[in-house]
Structure 1
Amino acid sequence: MIFRQLFDSTSSTYTYLLASRPGGEALIIDPVLERVERYLKLIEELDLKLVKAVDTHVHADHITGLGALRDHTKCITVMGEQSGVDVVSMRVSDGDRLSIEGISLGVIYTPGHTDDSYSFTLPDRVFTGDTLLIRGTGRTDFQNGDARQQYDSIFNRLLKLPEETLVFPAHDYKGDTVSTIGEERRHNPRLQVRSVEEYAALMAGLNLPNPKMMDVAVPANLRQGLHQEEVARRGWAVTAEAAQALVGQPGAVLIDLREKSERERHGCIPGALHAPYPDLAENIGAGGVLHELATATGKQLVFFCAYGERSAMAVQAAQDAGLGQASHIEGGMAAWKKAGGRLA
């Protein structure tokens, strides 16, 4: 496995780049906007293809690199379903799997630092965001933080992992790079408490100043959506209500860009063709199934995804490939369900 731990000294943020092999798909966790050019250079040097960019939660101490990485690489952006971010490509929930080629991470909902905090596991390591730090824990006094929830997340979820599990947090302010679950259980001073009440009292007494970037970072990080308005302005969008009339029509084919797990969890539009977003370039290129479908039959290609971000990028790519009949469903499956669209 390719694994890189990258550091932003301004915000003391760790970013993690993972891939199963050279030349393969890659995933990045907690990217920082100011470091995006470095990430892109490293991805190029390692001959990787970035397919997913993940934030463990809405950060208050730096502006996320999710949007910039999406714009540069057309990758899928990922956050937890509780996140207040306007639009991300994929939202995960507790118990899901977050997968790329050769790597599958477990998804654990670990609220407390914020109400949208998640951790991600591999068999030998866990990426804890700001929930569990090395010899510390994330503060719980803003962004709907809750010390009791964090106690539960740490003691009843993270500390249940095997003792040898490596702990990789989103921040460190002392120069440490990695710990283990066993080390933190024994030596983390904030975990040497006898009850949830004692932990809550400890966290309430910290009296920490707000992060310097908080007033800038939080509003910026809540606005990550691709501007679907531009796609609509060009006439490449249909509403969910209008898309319902296209189901079963011979002149149109609805194309589901979501992953198998999303389809199983949230349902499918009847008759839609499943063509996952990571295969888009191949499918719309000469000889690809969608290219042939559009050029040989003249069918209108109507892309959709979970919230409209992947499909907006897909319709732009299809138009660039000369498939002028391409459009997408504004707001994706979320809009479809809101409009009362049928599900298979």
Structure 2
Amino acid sequence: MIFRQLFDSVSGTYTYLIASRRGGEALIIDPVLEKVDRYMQLVRELDLKLVKAVDTHLHADHITGLGALRDQTHCITVMGEQTKADVVAMRVAEGDRVTIEGLSLDVLYTPGHTDDSYSYLMGDRIFTGDTLLIRGTGRTDFQNGDPRAQYDSIFNKLLRLPEETLLFPAHDYKGDTVSTIGEEKRFNPRLQVKSIDEYVELMNNLHLPNPKMMDVAVPANIHVGLHQDEIARKGWAVSAKDALDLRGRSDIVIVDLRERSERERHGVIPGSLHAPYADLQENLSEGGMLHELAAATGKRVVFYCAFGERSAMAVQAAQDAGVGSACHIEGGIDAWKKAGGAVGE
């Protein structure tokens, strides 16, 4: 396995680049905008294909690199379903899995620092974001933070993991790089409380100044960038309402780009063809399923995904591959449902 822990000294942020092998798929956790060039250099050096970029929560102390990485690599951006970020390709919830070639991360909802805080468990290690830090815990006094929720996240989820589980946080300001669940149980001063009320009192009396970047970072991280706007301006998009009239037409093929787990959880547009976004380039290349479908039948390919982000990128890729009739459903199946569209299993 390839595992790299990268550090931004300005914000004290740890970023993690993970892959199962050289030349394979990779994902990145909590990227920082100013370090994107470094991440891309490392991806090239290790001959990796960045396919997913994950933020553990909406950060207040740095601007995320999610949007920049998406624009450079067409990777899938991932955050929790509670996030207020405007454009995230995949929104996960407790019990989901984030997968790439050879690796799988279990999704744990661990609110408290913020209401959209998640942790990701991968085998012998867990990425805790700002929920549980090395000898500390994330503050709970802004972004809908809640010390009671954080106590529950830490004591009833994270600390119940095996004690040898390696703990990799999103931040550290003392130079520590890794801990274990067992170490934090014994030595983390904020965890030596006898009750939830004692923890709440402790967290409510920290009186910390706001992060220096908060007024800039939070608005910037909410507005990751509306990739779909440019696709709509080019006339390659249909509204969910208009898409309702396309289903069942003989000259249309509706293509679902989501992963199998998303389809099982959220349902599908009846009659749609499943062609996962991860296989898009192969399917669009000459001889590929979608390329041949469009060429042989003349049908118009209409992509959709969860919220429209992957499908917008797919339309551009289809146009580049010569599938000029391709378009997508703005807002994805989320918008389809809101427009009253039928959903099947």
Cα drift, residue 185 of structure 1? 0.2
Give the match for residue 227 of structure 2: 227
Question: Which residue identity lines up with residue 55 of structure 2 in the other structure?
Answer: D
Give the match for residue 249 of structure 1: 249
**Residue by residue, what CA displacement relative to the aligned partner does 1:249-269 show, whole Å, maximum 9, x if unpaired?**
110100000000000000001
**Residue by residue, what CA displacement relative to the aligned partner does 1:227-269 show, whole Å, maximum 9, x if unpaired?**
3122111110011111111112110100000000000000001
**Residue by residue, what CA displacement relative to the aligned partner does 1:167-226 show, whole Å, maximum 9, x if unpaired?**
000000000000000000000000000001000111111100000000000000001143
Give the match for residue 92 of structure 1: 92
Aligned pair 1:58/2:45, yes or no? no
- Percent identity (aligned): 76
Aligned pair 1:151/2:151, yes or no? yes
After TM superposition, list the pairs within 5 Å mapping 1:161-172 onto structure 2: 161-172=161-172
Question: Which residue identity lines up with residue 150 of structure 1 in the other structure?
Answer: Q
Paired with 2:111 and 2:162, the residues of 1 have a C-alpha distance of 20
After TM superposition, list the pairs within 5 Å mapping 1:97-112 onto structure 2: 97-112=97-112
Question: Which residue identity lines up with residue 43 of structure 1 in the other structure?
Answer: V
Cα drift, residue 116 of structure 1? 0.2
Cα drift, residue 87 of structure 1? 1.4
Paired with 1:245 and 1:214, the residues of 2 have a C-alpha distance of 45
After TM superposition, list the pairs within 5 Å mapping 1:65-214 onto structure 2: 65-214=65-214
Give the match for residue 319 of structure 1: 319
Paired with 1:262 and 1:244, the residues of 2 have a C-alpha distance of 21
Question: Which residue identity lines up with residue 170 of structure 1 in the other structure?
Answer: A
TM-score normalised by L of structure 1: 0.99
Give the match for residue 336 of structure 1: 336
Paired with 2:229 and 2:213, the residues of 1 have a C-alpha distance of 29
Paired with 2:227 and 2:158, the residues of 1 have a C-alpha distance of 37
Paired with 2:149 and 2:225, the residues of 1 have a C-alpha distance of 29
Paired with 2:225 and 2:262, the residues of 1 have a C-alpha distance of 19
Paired with 2:213 and 2:272, the residues of 1 have a C-alpha distance of 44
Paired with 1:340 and 1:297, the residues of 2 have a C-alpha distance of 29
Say if 1:128 and 1:169, in contact at 8 Å, map to a contact too: yes
Question: Which residue identity lines up with residue 220 of structure 2 in the other structure?
Answer: A
Say if 1:225 and 1:309, in contact at 8 Å, map to a contact too: no
Aligned pair 1:26/2:29, yes or no? no
Paired with 2:35 and 2:17, the residues of 1 have a C-alpha distance of 13
Paired with 2:11 and 2:59, the residues of 1 have a C-alpha distance of 10
**Residue by residue, what CA displacement relative to the aligned partner does 1:290-320 show, whole Å, maximum 9, x if unpaired?**
0011111111000000000000000011111
Say if 1:62 and 1:213, in contact at 8 Å, map to a contact too: yes
Say if 1:97 and 1:104, in contact at 8 Å, map to a contact too: yes
Provide the secondary structure at the position in 1 that maps to 2:184: helix
Provide the secondary structure at the position in 1 that maps to 2:271: coil
Structure 2 vs 1, CA of residues 118 and 32 (structure 1 numbering), >3 Å: closer, same or farther?
A: same
Paired with 1:309 and 1:75, the residues of 2 have a C-alpha distance of 10
Paired with 2:76 and 2:256, the residues of 1 have a C-alpha distance of 15
Question: Which residue identity lines up with residue 136 of structure 2 in the other structure?
Answer: G
Any stretches of 5+ residues in structure 2 without a counterpart?
none
Provide the secondary structure at the position in 2 that maps to 1:193: coil
Paired with 1:82 and 1:242, the residues of 2 have a C-alpha distance of 28
Question: Which residue identity lines up with residue 266 of structure 2 in the other structure?
Answer: H
Alignment length (residue pairs):
344
Paired with 2:228 and 2:69, the residues of 1 have a C-alpha distance of 17
Question: Which residue identity lines up with residue 49 of structure 2 in the other structure?
Answer: K
Paired with 1:110 and 1:288, the residues of 2 have a C-alpha distance of 41
Cα drift, residue 323 of structure 1? 1.0
Provide the secondary structure at the position in 2 that maps to 1:15: strand
More moved, 128-137 vs 293-302: 293-302
Give the match for residue 273 of structure 1: 273
Cα drift, residue 120 of structure 1? 0.2
Cα drift, residue 115 of structure 1? 0.3
Any stretches of 5+ residues in structure 1 without a counterpart?
none
TM-score normalised by L of structure 2: 0.99
Paired with 1:167 and 1:227, the residues of 2 have a C-alpha distance of 34
Paired with 1:238 and 1:203, the residues of 2 have a C-alpha distance of 48
Paired with 1:124 and 1:229, the residues of 2 have a C-alpha distance of 41
Provide the secondary structure at the position in 1 that maps to 2:243: helix
Paired with 1:256 and 1:122, the residues of 2 have a C-alpha distance of 28
Paired with 1:123 and 1:18, the residues of 2 have a C-alpha distance of 13
Paired with 2:127 and 2:107, the residues of 1 have a C-alpha distance of 10
Provide the secondary structure at the position in 2 that maps to 1:281: helix
Paired with 2:119 and 2:308, the residues of 1 have a C-alpha distance of 25
Aligned pair 1:305/2:330, yes or no? no
Say if 2:86 and 2:226, in contact at 8 Å, map to a contact too: no
Say if 2:237 and 2:330, in contact at 8 Å, map to a contact too: yes
